[in-house]
Amino acid sequence: MAFLSSPSESPANSLRSSGSGMARPNMKAAQNLAKQKSVEKKAKTYKLPLGELALFTQQLSSLLLAGLPLVQTLEALQDQTEDPCFKVVIRDVRLDIASGNSFSSAVKKYPRSFPTLFVSMVEAGEASGALAEILGKVASYFEASVKLSKKVKSAMTYPIAVIALAIALVNVLLIFVIPVFAAMFADFGAKLPAPTQMLIDLSEFMKSYWWVVLIGCFLIYKLIEKYVSTPKGRRSKDQFLVRAPIFGNLVHKIALSRFCRTYATLTRSGVPILRTLEIVAAASGMTQIEDACVEISRHVSQGGQVSEVLASNTFFPPMMKHMVKAGESTGNVDGMMNKIADFYDVECEATIAALTSLIEPLLIVFLGVVVGGIVMAMFLPIFQLGAVAGGLQQ
């Protein structure tokens, strides 16, 4: 009959098909919900990269200067942010402000996304009523830090890549190439030169016990990491970094530049000096500067001056001490600190350029000595073939 439906169009099948169609959206919604929950959880401890923070601060300052209210500014930044975790952070901060809390108290709940320096500058901006201008100064500070950090990383990329290549090449030679030569030399039946024998022994050890080397390197790394996490180990690490033969001078200049730039930015924004010293100590990452900030704080609270402490501390060069003293006498310490930071930024760039040009030939020599030494040690028996295979000539 024309009105009879086919089995595939029966009500049961239609219901089953409809249920299957509904299951897909439900499953997709559940996956999206689980993903959103994961992002929400990660956002609570999300560490925002400094470059992203600099961009956010600059945009925030620009929109506030344009006259946009803070809540609408944050809503606009939330919409254009591609990072899902930071989008959640901005949303929560915006909702917190909309409910009546201050901007500083809202960002303080996310210490890994917004460092102490940012929070303190926001507090100073709220107290002075010049939040947009102060955020502009913070953005400039972050941008200068990112710029210097990128230059240091770009200078370190080449030597790290070459050293990694050398390690990989040496391991390939030890594990795969040298055993072939060792089997050939075993047929000579004569005593091998000491460098060749040592290399063959090392090759046999690496071939059989490479996992021991990996475990040993991992354990050494963990022990060093644990030691450096202690106050004594951290102090030893900082002293070593400053006194290191090639990079020590650069590390020292970067630390001085960061100290001066942070101090000048905070002081110029109206942050009290004792609070400034606390933030400078936390932002420095160097025990030498942390100790100096504690000493300066104690000295200033007793009526002394910053330059007097710098003059007695060997970590700070004489030029810096004299410029800070001149700034104190003219009432322009933050301006002098900014000039010192600019000077050391230029010095850092010159040092990085010099190191880059110096490291390249040093690494070539290093590679030549390592690889050339292995090749020479393996061909030494062939060069001395008359002595090693003397039995073949008789």
Looking up tokens 């370190």 gives 156
Reply yes or no on whether the pLDDT at 271 is more than 90: no
pLDDT, position 91: 92
Task: Kindly give the interhelix angle for 194-228 and 333-383, rounded to the nearest 10 degrees.
Answer: 160
pLDDT digits (tens, 9 = 90+) for 87-131: 999 999 999 999 988 999 999 999 888 988 898 889 888 888 888
**Residues near 374 by beta carbon (within 8 Å), at least 6 away in sequence:** 170, 173, 178, 199
Reply yes or no on whether the pLDDT at 5 is more than 50: no
Q: Given pLDDT bands bounded at 50, 70 and 90, which one contains residue 355?
A: confident
CA dist 394 → 44, 185, 390, 391 (Å) = 81, 18, 7, 6
Instruction: Summarize the chain as % helix, strand, coil (round to 5).
Output: 85, 0, 15
Q: Given pLDDT bands bounded at 50, 70 and 90, which one contains residue 15?
A: very low
pLDDT digits (tens, 9 = 90+) for 70-91: 999 999 999 988 888 899 999 9
**Residues near 349 by beta carbon (within 8 Å), at least 6 away in sequence:** 151
Distance from C-alpha of 247 to C-alpha of 159, rounded to nearest angstrom: 12
Whole-model pTM: value is 0.76
pLDDT digits (tens, 9 = 90+) for 275-292: 889 888 888 888 999 999
pLDDT digits (tens, 9 = 90+) for 300-316: 998 888 888 888 888 99
CA 5 to centroid of chain Cα atoms: 69
Domains in the chain with CATH codes: 50-114 (1.20.81.30), 148-394 (1.20.81.30)
* DSSP structure string for 319-361: HHHHHHHHHHHHT-HHHHHHHHHHHHHHHHHHHHHHHHHHHHH
pLDDT mean over 191-217: 87
Of the candidate ranges 16-30, 81-95, 196-210, 358-372, the one whose mean pLDDT is the lowest: 16-30
Reply yes or no on whether the pLDDT at 2 is more than 80: no
Q: Given pLDDT bands bounded at 50, 70 and 90, which one contains residue 388?
A: very low
**Residues near 242 by beta carbon (within 8 Å), at least 6 away in sequence:** 248, 251, 252, 255, 286, 288, 315
Reply yes or no on whether the pLDDT at 3 is more than 50: no
Q: Given pLDDT bands bounded at 50, 70 and 90, which one contains residue 21?
A: low
Reply yes or no on whether the pLDDT at 264 is more than 60: yes
pLDDT, position 292: 92
Among 10-14, 226-230, 354-358, name the most confident range: 226-230
Q: Given pLDDT bands bounded at 50, 70 and 90, which one contains residue 362?
A: confident
Token readout for 257 is 């530049």
Q: Given pLDDT bands bounded at 50, 70 and 90, which one contains residue 4?
A: very low
Task: Count CB atoms within 10 A of the CB of residue 18.
Answer: 10
pLDDT, position 239: 92
Which amino acid belongs to residue 238?
A: D
Mean pLDDT of the chain: 84
Reply yes or no on whether the pLDDT at 374 is more than 50: yes
pLDDT mean over 328-344: 90
Reply yes or no on whether the pLDDT at 337 is more than 80: yes
pLDDT, position 222: 93
pLDDT digits (tens, 9 = 90+) for 148-201: 888 888 888 888 888 888 888 888 888 888 888 888 887 766 678 888 889 888
Token readout for 194 is 């000491």
Instruction: Judge contact between 190 and 391, C-beta under 8 A.
Output: yes
Which amino acid belongs to residue 104?
A: S
pLDDT, position 155: 81
